[in-house]
Structure 1
Amino acid sequence: MAREPPSVLIVEDEPDLADLYATWLAESCTVQTAYDGETALNSIDDGLDIVLLDRRMPGLSGDTILTTIRDRNLDCRVAMVTAVEPDFDIVEMGFDDYLVKPVSKDELCSIVEQLHLRSSYDDQLQEFFALASKKALLDAEKTEVERKSSREYDRLQDRLAVLRVQVDDTMQELLDQDGYRRLCQDLTRDTLLEETY
């Protein structure tokens, strides 16, 4: 399934490392870099898809930037890419994924692809459920004759059919990724364990 390349902001206080990450992602993404928290906050906007965020930086920390992103209700995915080992404080943090440095090119590219795919899936599901709700309302309020004579209703049904295929394809693509498959398996196992006890 063809998707627009994601726009990625790399927030990293080590310029050489930020530039290396940018080089790795340049072929598949639109990339910006910010070498400090202030620049990052000024670069973050609604058009951004993914933020790769270092936690420890002089001045504004990655944690503060993450809080600001979530407070602004920006619709972007955030992956912490940091040397800070995860601890229990991460439970309340609003990031989407967490990589501990050093990271390889494959790890970085994979996490960006996965976050972009998850965003696509979320968008597709939101549109699907919004249209399904409209269809259900029209089914309840309009007669079959009225529905059959409506071009808008035909277009609605066609769009729902296309979206159903896209959602299925995207879900399959997510499941084909080993990391996502393991995550789903872990969640299922944990849910079953909770229900058992």
Structure 2
Amino acid sequence: MTDEQNTILVVDDERDIADLYSTWLEADSEVRTAYGGEEALRKVDGDVDIVFLDRQMPDYSGDEVLDRIRDRDLACRVVMVTAVDPDFDIVSMEFDDYLTKPVMREDLADAVEAMNERDEYDDTLQEYFALTSKKATLEAEKTPSELQTNERYQEMVQRVEDLEEEADTVVTGFENDFDTLFQEFPGGD
């Protein structure tokens, strides 16, 4: 995906927002725009690399669209873009990143870059980044007490730790420094 132009699907029932995001992304990508979940499901196919998906829409919710995309085994990355305050339900959702509105041009560009980089990673690192995105999103919205007492969140934290250990055992020459590990992977900072 990084050598060619991305095909991006922008999905938002607010036409002005969808059109704005599409305009911002058109300079570097082929962009499709959908103004609702049903239209999104018609426009998403194997050529789409990244979907920017609103969570609250009247016909199909973003959650439902996400489930249908995953049921179709499409390999695209999905970035939820929403004004909905995230709750613990996001732990089980199969998205790659979560952006909370308002979203600026730079936020979209950064998300595209991050999704492109993740394509260079193996499944372990891809899962790690998706989970750490969810973890950071919840930590920004929930109190420490809420985080501590939520079983799904705690299971996710444990899975993140397991993935870190898994990556550490696969890579030699690192002194359990996970930040260094990511710097050495293709696309790492």
* Shorter-normalised TM range: 0.5 to 0.7
| Offset, 1:27 | 1.0
| Offset, 1:118 | 1.1
- Contact between 2:11 and 2:36, CA under 8 Å: does it hold in 1? yes
Give the residue type in structure 2 aligned to 1:33. Answer: T
- Contact between 2:55 and 2:61, CA under 8 Å: does it hold in 1? yes
Q: How many residues align?
A: 132
| Offset, 1:172 | 4.5
Q: Where is the helix percentage greater, Structure 1 or Structure 2?
A: 1
* Residue equivalent to 2:116: 116
- Secondary structure class of the residue paired with 2:90: helix
What is the RMSD computed on CA atoms of the aligned residues? 2.3
* Residue equivalent to 1:80: 80
| Offset, 1:122 | 4.6
Instruction: Summarize the Cα distance change of 1:23–1:122 in structure 2 as closer, same or farther, 3 Å threshold.
Output: farther
> How far apart, in 1, do the equivalents of 2:81 and 2:20 lie?
13
Give the residue type in structure 2 aligned to 1:171. Answer: F
Give the residue type in structure 2 aligned to 1:63. Answer: D
Give the residue type in structure 1 aligned to 2:185. Answer: M
Deviations along 1:1-32, one digit per CA (max 9) or x if unpaired, are x6111110000001111111011111111101
Give the residue type in structure 1 aligned to 2:82. Answer: T
> How far apart, in 1, do the equivalents of 2:23 and 2:107 lie?
14
- Structure 1 unaligned blocks of 5 or more: 126-167, 177-197
* Residue equivalent to 2:92: 92
Provide the TM-score with structure 2 as the length reference: 0.65
Q: Which has the larger radius of gyration?
A: 1
* Residue equivalent to 2:185: 171
Deviations along 1:47-97, one digit per CA (max 9) or x if unpaired, are 110000000001111000000011111101000000011110000000000
- Contact between 1:121 and 1:170, CA under 8 Å: does it hold in 2? no
* Residue equivalent to 1:70: 70
| Offset, 1:116 | 1.7
- Contact between 1:54 and 1:81, CA under 8 Å: does it hold in 2? yes
> How far apart, in 2, do the equivalents of 1:20 and 1:106 lie?
13
- Secondary structure class of the residue paired with 1:99: strand
Map residues 37-52 of structure 1 onto 2, 5 A cutoff.
37-52=37-52
- Secondary structure class of the residue paired with 2:119: helix
- Contact between 1:117 and 1:170, CA under 8 Å: does it hold in 2? no
- Secondary structure class of the residue paired with 2:81: strand
> How far apart, in 2, do the equivalents of 1:93 and 1:170 lie?
29
Map residues 11-30 of structure 1 onto 2, 5 A cutoff.
11-30=11-30
Map residues 92-171 of structure 1 onto 2, 5 A cutoff.
92-122=92-122, 171=185
Instruction: Summarize the Cα distance change of 1:4–1:122 in structure 2 as closer, same or farther, 3 Å threshold.
Output: farther
* Residue equivalent to 1:143: none
